[in-house]
């Protein structure tokens, strides 16, 4: 059963809290990094980690590897993969 993705406002509220500075740095690092198929094993291990920062890093990496114009893929990915991070 897909999980509804969180709203951008909710994400920003969580992201901008002072206690989430480490997560913020991790997300910024992942956004700056260039990921290739060679990184696939690494990002999958990050996603499977119990560490929230690693999970976010891995999901961003996977999105960059799979960078696609397919709206159906992006919608499903947001609901099933990104949505799971909201319940961590």
Q: Is residue 1 part of a domain?
A: no
Q: Is residue 34 part of a domain?
A: yes
Q: Which of 54, 66, 62 is nearest to 26 (CA)?
A: 54
Number of domains in the chain: 1
Q: Is residue 3 part of a domain?
A: no
- Distance, in Å, from the CA atom of 2 to the CA atom of 52, rounded to the nearest integer, reads 20
The residue range of the domain holding 72 is 8-81
Q: What is the pTM of this model?
A: 0.61
pLDDT digits (tens, 9 = 90+) for 42-72: 999 999 998 888 998 999 998 888 875 556 6
Position 20 scores a pLDDT of 77
- Distance, in Å, from the CA atom of 78 to the CA atom of 6, rounded to the nearest integer, reads 9
């Amino acid at each position: 059963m897909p999980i509804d993705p969180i709203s951008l406002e909710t994400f920003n509220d969580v992201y901008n809290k002072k206690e989430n500075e480490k997560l913020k740095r991790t997300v910024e690092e992942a956004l700056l990094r260039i990921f290739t198929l060679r990184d696939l094993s690494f990002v999958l291990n990050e996603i499977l980690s119990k560490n929230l920062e690693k999970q976010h890093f891995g999901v961003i990496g996977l999105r960059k590897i799979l960078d696609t114009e397919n709206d159906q893929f992006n919608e499903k990915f947001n609901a099933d993969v990104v949505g799971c991070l909201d319940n961590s």
